[in-house]
Structure 1
């Protein structure tokens, strides 16, 4: 009985994608784990700053702005106060639009997955092999960039995202213009700007960005 050597997999590797013609080893890289952990923590902290929704829809606080400058001032103040609520609302509009169009949702998920696993968080020592040919990082970057341009500008996905963004932004602008912010109290520190992902200036994110830039 002839003995055959068995392949030994890296304990950090999760799977080998493909059947030989299209293959790349996907691993749970430290950069990906750090990014997911940071994203989760930042989202949790942001939602701790979410304002009560009843303040957002309090009909007694709505009034017609006196002028365009008054409307602009109201939008700015309301955005600073309801920042997380507004971003949540915009995300909900985008999610509803995508779930209403399953093909567009699948396309976006596939595009994001391709960027994450084939380029952003793929270890540099794990090559991408398609049809027996090994592709370099620059070639993968070029292919993904062209595919992204095609999806965003030459398919209905881009118009769907743009339409949903405009609708969500329009709702936020109308609410901000007609919601009188006089009863709202915003700390100066928060007024300086605390976005949903503002805490991404950490070493984990910097390391991930540095890893991506090193590939270019």
Structure 2
């Protein structure tokens, strides 16, 4: 089933490339990482308002595809989730790739992308390399660094009105453990390559965004 879905995506991309040249340049990608409650979504929204970036969330793309009743891949995603299995990383990455292609087909000036909450682990990173190497340039990682306690306090406060079932202390502690065990090593790996831009995310939204602006203005 997964192989069939990937072939279908590949065929769609090939047909689209035959109609219009997909890229005059590769997508320029910034991975946005940080713990739960670090403010990734809030800052991504600010960046989109002020810079020529498109915000993509792997989780949102999976949920959107799952909700499409006529989507073969959506049915596959739904099956994995209902069975308590992890959706194959190739599906997630191909959804990201398709979203970038669609955006750039509509507007050739929209070639800069914020990919939020990805890669979360080594499997994500290996999958990205296998599918996207040579097809997109990862410029750097925007890392919102925040203490565990601040993350927990923010999420608990958010949980009072968000309606999110995972904004409770037990879930948050599990999410933080996963983040520390799986995502922090990815950030450290990119750090060794000189590709991490770290921001103190424990401050106010405006203070954090001031640092974001400094980084983006410098990076171009």
Indicate whether the TM-score tops 0.5. no
Structure with a larger share of its residues in strand: 2
When normalised by structure 2's length, the TM-score is: 0.22
When normalised by structure 1's length, the TM-score is: 0.23
Bigger RCO of structures 1 and 2 (CA < 8 A, at least 6 apart) = 1
